[in-house]
Amino acid sequence: MPRPHTSASAIALCILLTTLPGGCASYTLEGRVVRGDFGDVLFVDPGRDPYAEAPGIPGVAIRVIRDPDRLSRKVAAGGRSGPSGDLSIPIGEFGAGWMQELWLVQASRAGYETVEQIVAFPSGRKRVVIVMRDGESTELQTLDPLREQFERHR
């Protein structure tokens, strides 16, 4: 027979876990996409952005991939930069922003070289800056290695 205090303890634990930072709450990748001399993905403290004066790039397709080096990788989130290059992409994956793991950030738009960089999301209030340079965009990396092999040997 279950003890009455066991279910009360479980409820209290669930309430505690949902109120902790990074518990099950989503992580939001916030920042800007800007024009620069080379492609890069970096995280900066608000007010300390070396690209603050750089022109923003609107309409950039952004994809975030979890576990990029594993067969179990998957697109965790995606979106587009706004008219001034601003972006805000919620990532509802467990552990984003507080677990030590790697993510692939991809950014693509016609007229700019595609940016693909593996990063670890910082905890706290850092903002992402995706730097793109003028050039020719390339097709984003596919997530299906079997299809890649099939197409290559067809």
104 CB-near residues (< 8 Å, 6+ apart): 63, 64, 65, 68, 73, 116, 117, 118, 119, 141
pTM: 0.73
Q: How far apart are CA 143 and CA 65, in angstroms?
A: 9
Measure the CA dihedral 115/117/123/127, to 10°: -20
CB atoms within 10 A of CB 108: 18
pLDDT tens profile 120-145? 888 778 899 999 999 887 766 655 55
pLDDT tens profile 13-47? 444 444 444 444 577 889 999 999 999 999 999 88
pLDDT confidence bin for 105, thresholds 50/70/90: very high
pLDDT at 59: 95
Please indicate whether residue 91 or residue 92 has the higher confidence score (pLDDT): 91
pLDDT tens profile 26-35? 778 899 999 9
Q: Which domains does the chain have, with CATH numbers?
A: 23-137 (2.60.40.10)
